[in-house]
Structure 1
Amino acid sequence: MSTLASRSRSALTGLHSAATQATHSIAAILERVDWLVLPMLAFGVSRLVIFIAAWLGDTFLITEEGHWVADPNSPFLSFWAKWDSQWYVQIARDGYWFQPLQQSNVAFFPLYPLYMRLVARFVGGNLILSGFLVSNIALLLALIYLYRLTVLELGDRPSAQRAVFYAAFFPTAFFFNAVYTESLFFLLTIGTMYHARRQQWLAAAVFGLLATATRNLGVLMWAMVMWEWLRHNGWRITQAYRLSAWRNLWNGLRRHWFELLIIAVIPLGLLLYMAFLNSNFGRPFAFVEVQAAWNRQNIGPVAVLARDIGKLMEPQVARWYFTSMLNVGAFFFALALVPFIWHK
């Protein structure tokens, strides 16, 4: 009897040990691929929530007549093609045109509609569907890059998980589904930063170049990658008064001058678009000129802040009051966070 009990205990111990080892093995595998699993989970759940919200809105809210309907045969796709989406569809379908002092599609950069046209070849020429696919694929890849960048910066997987879920569930994250450049630009900027932080200058330059062909703000990636190159070569702005900092910079220039040539291609996306505009319309800055047709001005961030604060002081509550309140509130909230983030 005691022998049977002993054997039973041994068998149970063996099963428990095997189960423990299996659990540890599965946990180890999941930990190795969490850079993929967590972004996919955040992407899938967040998109499901947003799809349901879009369906509820379309079901219970009345759309005013006269709005552009992207695809009359597919209400689902029409959810994600609103407002400026029609410009990207037009560029992908018909190309660019320019009329001075009027709203023209040259205001919108070419990479996103180029991807739309490319993907449309595989989905029966449906540009709305292709734009939707480009945006969502780009979002998934962006979340993967965001996870890896956060781990690289903080060395902390829980922080990376939170960053991915915050990005996916942010209140305005529904724009990532839309036929807009948001997802693609998000991917390209995060990818640029990730590769620059790893000193993978060629990959960073490719991502940065594509970013400059996606939106005009993409050119800022050049400054970011250059700053990272300076840091990697021992130059710090806090030590700019020291001769040793400039000596380190000179040594870096001598040893790694080819890296600077690679980084210098980043603005090429913008420059090629300007060359295209000059060749076809004789106006390399046409994308800037047409901004006035949308009542937009380049007045600088301080002037914008002063303008919105002024709107809040007006005695009557106009329709833009709450937008100005949100802009001003977000600015001061972000400003208040700077010391805490800097300290961390």
Structure 2
Amino acid sequence: MIVLLDGLLSARQRAGSALHAAGARAWLRFTALPGWAQALLLYAATRVFAAAVTVSVARFQEQSVWTPASPSYPIMAADLWDATWYRKIAEGGYPLPLPRSADGAAAQSEWAFFPAYPLLVRLLMTVTGGSWEVVAPTTALLLGAAAAVVLRRLFARVAGEQAALAGLLLVLCAPAAPVLQYAYTESLALLALAWALLTLVERRYGWCVLAVLLLGATRAVALPFALVVLVHAVARWRAEGRSVTLRDRFALLGLLVASGVAGLAWPVAVGVATGIPDAYTEVQSAWRSGQVVWVVPWLRASSQLFGDVAGPVLLVAALAALVWWCTGPAARSLGPELPAWVLAQQAYLLVVLDPWTSLFRYLLLQVPVALLIAVQVRSRAAVGAWAVAGLALQVVWVAWLWRFSPPSDWPP
């Protein structure tokens, strides 16, 4: 019996050693690939997982105004929630005059949504002859692949290759990451943001202007990027002083102006097109219970979740911890730009957002947080545990928020 047990233990040890060796060889082959190929492989693996989750959840999707019961993957990825607004823009453009409800107030309409993604899909639909359900999520999927490549390069530029892979994995395993392959703007916004941050870090200011203008045509996040440009300029001036060339000074000034223009261009365009200067603000208020109020909605939401006293205290503590984390040694090792983006976007969200279930999706653009985690965790096993937890939360996000339970539900 003892001999038999010894044999079984030895066989188990040999099998474990063989698996470990095979895993080590696979890892070596993976890391030997070019950086862009590593990024695409990680992206492909996580997209297959998200697609499988989407197909599984679709079996439980009830019939609604948007989809039939148990829809196919293309319909599930292209016809829920705000994707319907992007479809209207792609197929019919923006409505004139400004749609209004019976009481004369601005109604919910396409003017609340930025044009870059739906117009790109419209162009591709025209060129290929494909339907919205095919072209829209496919476009988002490919844009997300490009974003993964650029993001890995950005992370490698500021933190090294190993941290870059870990940080990218955590981004792609974030709870709301399945939206990167749905008919939403997140994949294009992530590409534009990664491109803007990379070109800013590399001091290619002309390309950064283009990236910021694209970002401003995709999502309402170009204004906080202006703060990142300002932080970059101050940091460079403190490090180099008068040795900063006159050309770079003017380039940075132009980039700062371009960031402001990109942040205001769409609201101004909506006003000009409709003939109503504050039309964009009016349309946005149609999704709210009242006018935009700074910070108060965050306090209200925290009170609803955790109590009138504990909620605001926890909110303030969380924000203070975020500031402390983004100004600490690990964050400083990444340079000033990425931590500045985290704080700038969070400050912007405090001003403009009524936080609720959509917050998970908005936080997807807080990509430097994933890199900070990767830099501080370091252990591959710990990063893997973070990734697995994120994938589990993706199942929750798709089943709870992306799946629509008629007649009304919380938005993703």
TM-score normalised by L of structure 1 = 0.75
Q: Secondary structure at the match of 2:64?
A: coil
1:47 aligned residue: 47
- The structural deviation recorded for 1:125 is 4.2
Does 1:282 find its partner at 2:275?
yes
* Unaligned segments of structure 1, at least 5 residues: 1-23, 236-244, 316-324
1:273 aligned residue: 266
| Amino acid aligned to 1:76 | Y
Over 3 Å counting, the alpha-carbon distance change for 1:328 and 1:193 in structure 2 is farther
Kept after mapping to 2: 8 A contact 1:278/1:284: yes
The 10-residue stretch of structure 1 (178-187 or 218-227) with the greater mean CA deviation from structure 2: 218-227
| Amino acid aligned to 2:324 | P
2:349 aligned residue: none
The 10-residue stretch of structure 1 (187-196 or 145-154) with the greater mean CA deviation from structure 2: 145-154
Deviations 1:178-234 (A, max 9, x none): 111111111111110111000000111110111011112222222212321332233
Over 3 Å counting, the alpha-carbon distance change for 1:178 and 1:312 in structure 2 is same
Q: Secondary structure at the match of 2:128?
A: coil
| Amino acid aligned to 1:259 | A
The 10-residue stretch of structure 1 (223-232 or 141-150) with the greater mean CA deviation from structure 2: 223-232
Q: Of residues 106, 110, 118 in structure 2, which corresponds to 1:113?
A: 118
2:302 aligned residue: 309
Report which structure shows greater RCO (CA 8 Å, sep ≥6): 2
Does 1:343 find its partner at 2:329?
yes
Q: Of residues 83, 86, 89 in structure 2, which corresponds to 1:88?
A: 86
Q: Which has the greater radius of gyration?
A: 1
- CA distance in 1 between partners of 2:46 and 2:320 (Å): 29
Percent of aligned positions that are identical: 22
Over 3 Å counting, the alpha-carbon distance change for 1:328 and 1:200 in structure 2 is farther
Over 3 Å counting, the alpha-carbon distance change for 1:311 and 1:28 in structure 2 is closer
Over 3 Å counting, the alpha-carbon distance change for 1:37 and 1:57 in structure 2 is same
Kept after mapping to 1: 8 A contact 2:58/2:70: no
| Amino acid aligned to 1:96 | Y
- The structural deviation recorded for 1:108 is 0.5
1:224 aligned residue: 228
1:260 aligned residue: 252
Kept after mapping to 2: 8 A contact 1:308/1:328: no
The 10-residue stretch of structure 1 (46-55 or 334-343) with the greater mean CA deviation from structure 2: 334-343
Kept after mapping to 1: 8 A contact 2:285/2:292: no
Alignment RMSD: 3.2
Over 3 Å counting, the alpha-carbon distance change for 1:152 and 1:329 in structure 2 is farther
Kept after mapping to 1: 8 A contact 2:90/2:122: yes
Q: How many aligned positions are there?
A: 293
Kept after mapping to 1: 8 A contact 2:220/2:263: yes
| Amino acid aligned to 2:329 | H
1:12 aligned residue: none
- CA distance in 1 between partners of 2:252 and 2:281 (Å): 28
Q: Of residues 279, 294, 300 in structure 1, which corresponds to 2:294?
A: 300
1:168 aligned residue: 172
The 10-residue stretch of structure 1 (170-179 or 261-270) with the greater mean CA deviation from structure 2: 261-270
Kept after mapping to 2: 8 A contact 1:212/1:267: no
Q: Secondary structure at the match of 1:180?
A: coil
Over 3 Å counting, the alpha-carbon distance change for 1:62 and 1:151 in structure 2 is closer
2:395 aligned residue: none
